[in-house]
């Protein structure tokens, strides 16, 4: 793909977006037909073969984020996510990043860690020496258990041992089997190796191997993303580029010392990364676990990103974190949705996909922080939220946009308000008794001037539930409006 920029992509409508992707060769003719048919990408029969007790297929929006330039290559990124603003945010950030060459990403080999805990083996230092002396034998045995992995250029690479004191005072030795899984997620392969090695390790150590399973703290599969934003392009509305830059740096500083802020900061990063993981059939829960464990690696939970001001005034962003994903494997092969997502991503290897996901994470972090230090996140979020509320209220397509605008103007983004505005507009569209053609006005407000007295309420619990007509805990206010 020569260019990932698509002018006014968000204005094209569903069919237009699908056609654009097909014309660029990002999806197959079959993909396009399925997407245009409104049929689910994953059929119930296929889902029933994936997990247990299937009763249906739960849908989430599949979107794409254009504009990405990563290591000089253009990408249109598939994202599966239900939260408004995420796709728009990363697309906008990616567009700005192009001004200085896009995102630059480096990565380590795709190493997965298999863990085996050895107990009741006597002196831990002696056990570690015995295992170190049998390192070559154990690696050879591990690779015999997964010969296909070795043939694809991967396989068991090394063994590490650590001693740990258990809560009851006993010593345990933890063995790490480092496995390069190449383009596979690799969990099954590494678990098979660990289970197959257990009896050999018990023979060598004289102890008992308890757990034999991968670790989701994949800190041997790191991505390192960097981006530069010239201060001249950072300004937004009434806020200068310098204000935005300094605000982002300060917000990141807070997240580096305050775990409460860091949790929200990192959740924003994962908003982008998880969406790509789901779209490409990867285990987003594993990626999440690794990210948050890595954020607390020094004993305090901190921000995964670092933002700073360069000597020339530019804003510099950096993200280092573990991302271990795959582009081949059983779950991806059995889910046609994942195949479609991978085709859109256009990544040739698991490492390339991890690097792209890292760029999306840093883009999402920038978009969120830029909004927070300028107009706040609710301004853009509320318009998208209003569309969700209007859809939930069953507003007809022909008046949908006007109802959304009316809710935002009124400040009441609620289902009852959507229905009220919808009824008003539908009444205006009904044929008039005098035979005149009905004219749909743009004014959907109920009154230009507020008069009279009304009661009110204070919602104590369940503000979001109220939006969707669910029960809340509230206190009444008599004569709340005068």
Just list the catalytic residues. Answer: 83, 267, 283, 381
- Pairwise CA distance, residues 421 & 404, whole Å: 9
Q: Which two tokens stand for residue 146?
A: 């997964």
Q: Which is nearest to 106 in space by CA: 219, 218, 223, 221?
A: 223
Listing DSSP states for 158-169 in one string gives: EEEEEEEE-TTS
Judge residue 443's burial from the number of C-beta atoms within 10 Å of its C-beta, 0-12 exposed, 13-18 middle, 19 or more buried: exposed
Helix (H) / strand (E) containing 47: helix 44-48
Token pair 């860690």: residue:
113
Nearest alpha carbon to residue 153 among 349, 356, 321: 349
Buried b or exposed e, range 24-58, using 16+ CB within 10 angstroms:
bebbeeebbebbeeeebbbeeebbeeeeeeeeeee
CB 189 within 8 A of CB 146: yes
Coil, helix or strand at residue 346:
coil
What 8-state DSSP symbol labels residue 102? -
In sequence order, the β-bridge partners of residue 228 are 316
CA atoms within a 13 Å half-sphere pointing along the CA-CB vector of 144: 8
**For the residues of 286-308, what is the DSSP string, one character each?**
HHHHHHHHHHTTTSS---SEEEE
Q: What is the DSSP letter of 24?
A: T
Looking at the DSSP assignment, which residues form a beta bridge with residue 117? 174
**Residue 246 corresponds to which tokens in the numbers above?**
């300094």
Residue position matching structure tokens 């698509």? 6
Which residue's structure tokens are 């933002």? 307
Enter the tokens of residue 479: 């004569």
Tokens, residue 42: 């994953």
CA angle 398, 403, 408 (to 5 degrees): 150
For CA atoms 52, 42, 267, 458, the dihedral sign is negative
CA distance 250 to 74: 31
């Amino acid at each position: 793909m020569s260019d990932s920029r698509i002018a006014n992509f968000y204005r094209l409508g569903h069919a237009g977006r699908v056609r654009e992707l097909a014309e660029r060769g990002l999806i197959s003719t079959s993909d396009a037909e399925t997407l245009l048919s409104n049929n689910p990408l994953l059929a119930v029969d296929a889902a029933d073969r994936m997990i247990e007790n299937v009763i249906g297929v739960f849908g989430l929006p599949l979107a794409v984020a254009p504009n990405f330039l990563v290591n000089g290559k253009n990408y249109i990124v598939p994202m599966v996510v239900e939260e408004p603003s995420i796709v728009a945010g990363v697309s906008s950030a990616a567009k700005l990043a192009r001004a200085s060459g896009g995102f630059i990403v480096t990565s380590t080999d795709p190493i997965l860690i298999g863990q085996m805990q050895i107990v009741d083996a006597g002196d831990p230092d002696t056990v570690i020496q015995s295992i170190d002396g049998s390192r070559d034998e154990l690696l050879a045995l591990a690779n015999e258990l997964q010969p296909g992995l070795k043939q694809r250029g991967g396989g068991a690479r090394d063994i590490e041992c650590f001693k740990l004191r258990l809560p009851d005072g006993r010593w345990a030795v933890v063995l790490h089997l480092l496995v390069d899984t190449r383009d596979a997620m690799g969990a099954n392969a590494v678990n098979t190796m660990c289970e197959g090695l257990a009896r050999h390790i018990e023979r060598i150590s004289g102890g008992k191997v308890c757990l034999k399973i991968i670790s989701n703290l994949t800190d041997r599969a790191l991505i390192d993303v960097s981006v530069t934003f010239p201060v001249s392009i950072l300004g937004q509305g009434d806020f200068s580029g310098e204000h935005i830059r300094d605000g982002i740096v300060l917000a990141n500083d807070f997240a580096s010392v305050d775990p409460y802020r860091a949790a929200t900061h990192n959740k924003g990063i994962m908003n982008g990364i998880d969406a790509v993981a789901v779209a490409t059939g990867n285990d987003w829960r594993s990626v999440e676990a690794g990210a948050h464990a890595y954020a607390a690696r020094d004993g305090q939970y901190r921000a995964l990103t670092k933002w700073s001001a360069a000597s020339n005034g530019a804003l510099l962003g950096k993200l280092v974190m573990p991302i271990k994903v795959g582009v081949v494997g059983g779950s991806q092969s059995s889910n046609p949705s994942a195949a479609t997502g991978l085709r859109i991503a256009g990544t040739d290897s698991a490492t390339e996909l991890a690097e792209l996901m890292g760029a999306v994470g840093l883009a999402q972090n920038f978009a969120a922080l830029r909004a927070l230090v300028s107009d706040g996140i609710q301004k853009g979020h509320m318009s998208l939220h209003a569309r969700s509320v209007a859809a939930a209220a069953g507003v007809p397509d022909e008046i949908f946009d006007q109802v959304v605008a009316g809710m935002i103007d009124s400040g009441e983004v609620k289902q009852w308000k959507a229905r009220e505005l919808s009824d008003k507009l539908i009444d205006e569209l009904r044929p008039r008794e005098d035979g005149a053609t009905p004219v749909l006005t743009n004014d959907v407000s109920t009154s230009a001037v507020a008069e009279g007295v009304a009661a009110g309420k204070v919602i104590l619990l369940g503000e979001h539930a109220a939006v969707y007509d669910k029960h809340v805990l509230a206190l009444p206010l008599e004569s709340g409006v005068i």
